[in-house]
Amino acid sequence: MYVTGCYFSYLAISIVVTIWVARTLHKSGRVFLLDAFGGNADLADSVNRLLVVGFYLMNVGYISLALQTTSALNSLREVIELESHKIGAVLLLLGAVHFLNILILAKMRRRTMLQHGVVA
């Protein structure tokens, strides 16, 4: 019984966090992308949507792979510990991917500014 409950709560928490982060990044990332792409709104919006799709695919894939467990889970404490480990791994992955995207986009922004003669 504990294993099934753990699966459902892990999936619910992970999916809710993934949706919240994706919406936040999509909404707040547009301005950053516009700047990174030199004001090209069509390109910024397109990349923003593609980043969100990639974000969902990678996250849901990782969440699915991390779902399985070989632990017996004989107590609520064991469920909480397992879930915290799995959700923590999802959050670390989200953070790492986010910072990698920011680094890449910052480099693109710098290149765009150099091409237009603006020194940053």
Q: Domain-by-domain residue ranges, the chain?
A: 2-115
Model pLDDT, residue 119: 60
Nearest alpha-carbon partner for 22 in 83, 93, 92, 98:
98
- Read off the pLDDT of each residue in 56-83 and give the average, rounded to a whole number: 86
Tell me what the pLDDT averaged over the chain comes to: 85
**pLDDT higher than 90, residue 93:** no
What does each C-alpha distance from 12 to 27, 63, 68, 69 come to in angstroms? Answer: 23, 11, 15, 17
Rounded CA gap, 83 and 91, in Å?
12
Tens digit of each residue's pLDDT (9 = 90 or more) over 24-69: 888 988 888 888 888 889 999 999 999 899 889 988 898 888 888 8
pTM of the predicted model as reported, rounded to 2 decimal places? 0.75
Rounded CA gap, 41 and 33, in Å?
8
Percent helix, percent strand, percent coil in the chain, to nearest 5: 85, 0, 15
